[in-house]
Every structure is written in C-alpha cells, then in structure tokens.
Amino acid sequence: MSELKPIEYTGGDHAVLLLHGLSSSPLEMRFLARALNRQGFTAVAPLLDGYSAGSPHSRKERWISAAVREFDALARQYARVSVCGLSIGAALSLAVVHERPSAQAVILLSLTLDYDGWAMPWYRFLLYWAYYTPLRHRWRYREEEPFGLRNEALRAKVARAMQSSDFSEVGPSTISLPALHEASRLAKCVRRVVPSITTDSLVIHAIDDETSSPLNARFVGSSIGSSFLRTIYLDDSYHMITSDNEREIVAREILLFLRESEAADDVADGKRAPVISKALARRLRQIAALSR
C-alpha cells in the first residue's frame, strides 16, 4: 500500500526518531513530524521490520534491534537524537534509550505497558494463555469505536477507513495475538529497566485513555531515574493523542520540552521537578469529591 512508507523531514541538527504504535504505520506520527520540522527539527518515522504493518511478525528483540539501528543511523548524522513513541511505540522508545543512553530525550505518548483502559475487553487477561493454544494463529483483536479518538468527526472518518482498508491514520483494524504477546514481553522487559534510565523524559497521557490508563504514566513518573522529568495529562483526548483534539497541545509541549532539554544540557544547571498539569489536578479534585 502507498501509505506504508517511512516519513523523513530533514531539518536542523536535532533529530527526533518517531516510533508508531503496534502493527501500525508512520501515518500516526505525521502531524507531529510536520510540526517538529516546521520548528527546525529533523523528524524521522521509520517502518520497522516485524513491528510495522505489512511485515511478517517477529519477536520483540528484533523490534528493539530495528529501532536501535534507526537511532544509530541518525546519531551518525546529527548532533542530538531524541526518541518519541506512541502507545507500544513509547515502550519501545524506553527500550531504545536504555540501549542508547546518549539520547537527548525520550518522549512517551500514551505509554502502554498494560492494556488496562476502560474500553479494553474483560477477557484480556486470558490472552497470555490463548497464545499457547491453536488460537495463536487464528485470533486477532479487532479495533472498535472509539478507535482512540474523542473527536467524533475524525472517529467517523476512521470508521469508514477501517471498513475499506487494513489500517487508518490512527492504526490497524486488527492486531494478531502473537504481536500482542510480544508487546506484553516488551512491557515486562521495560518495567525492569525504567529505574536505570536517566534520559530527559516527557510523559503525555490522556486522563480518559481507553486503551492504557494513566497508571502507565504514573509508573514511569514514580520509577524512572531521570532528573529532568515532565508529566502532562490531557483531558480532551483518548489514546491517539497525536491525532485527537489536543494534538496541537501535544506538539507544542514536545517542542518546548526539547528546547528546554537542549538548554539544560548546554548549561548543565541541575535538577528540575516534575510538572503535573492543571487537567490532572482538576480531575483529582473531582475524584476526591465523589469519594466523600
């Protein structure tokens, strides 16, 4: 398919490696790539063999190796390289910066270490066991509404695309059981290494994420070894925050963070405290009021 191609926008000497979600395509990162490039960054969203749509399934070790190769290729050309991932791509980003601590920054969008969002099927805990049955080769998880989107107009557009194609700009129509199994293996591996990661880190997560709850973001916020950590929660988006209502906010916060990371690296001016958004504070007050 013509959509199955990498994205590469050449800019300045700070390159950002953009890793899309599981079994999907760089289309998920196109808006963000363009926004970064307009501000002078080089933005590259590759296709990864065995991970991206259109390639035969492979194990998570190959995903990591493929992503690290993309990082190394950028590092040979550019003075700074940051890594940004969406969903399972965010978990893959953590694996990359663990292997390459020279990364300038890591940006985690809708980080998915556990499929624990409100729209996930009740039987998800059975999938681990199903992998070791004949279902392994037959069963596929089918994406359904809301397709990670709070924006109803875009959701309707994606629903039409899902009917006529294997994937849309917000991901695939189905995901195989082996791919989900490898995603679980990746998440387990990443959970172990998060405390050893000291790379500047930005975490952006929707409070109402239907795929991965904010607990995923909170785990990183409480465990990662970064001295420069910023956490932002959104209140008008679902899982696909690079496409949903607040995609401009996501792009703007990433740009600000990368500039601050550059400046902090240049002057080496010490630690910064995590930042919690007003959206999260408001939601926490609502939850506290309901519990009284």
Instruction: Tell me how far apart the alpha carbons of residues 77 and 230 are, in angstroms, rounded to a whole number.
Output: 28
CA atoms within 13 A on the CB side of 44: 25
Say if residues 182 and 59 touch (Cβ distance below 8 Å): yes
Instruction: Tell me how far apart the alpha carbons of residues 187 and 63 are, in angstroms, rounded to a whole number.
Output: 13
Say if residues 222 and 194 touch (Cβ distance below 8 Å): no
Say if residues 199 and 108 touch (Cβ distance below 8 Å): no
| Sign of the C-alpha dihedral computed for residues 73, 77, 79 and 83 taken in this order | negative
Say if residues 139 and 231 touch (Cβ distance below 8 Å): no
Residue corresponding to tokens 């919690």: 276
In the DSSP assignment, the letter for residue 248 is H
Strands 174-176 and 140-142, by their bridges, are antiparallel
Please, which residues have CB within 8 angstroms of residue 165's CB and are 6 or more apart in sequence? 1, 173
Say if residues 83 and 17 touch (Cβ distance below 8 Å): yes
Catalytic positions, please? 87, 209, 239
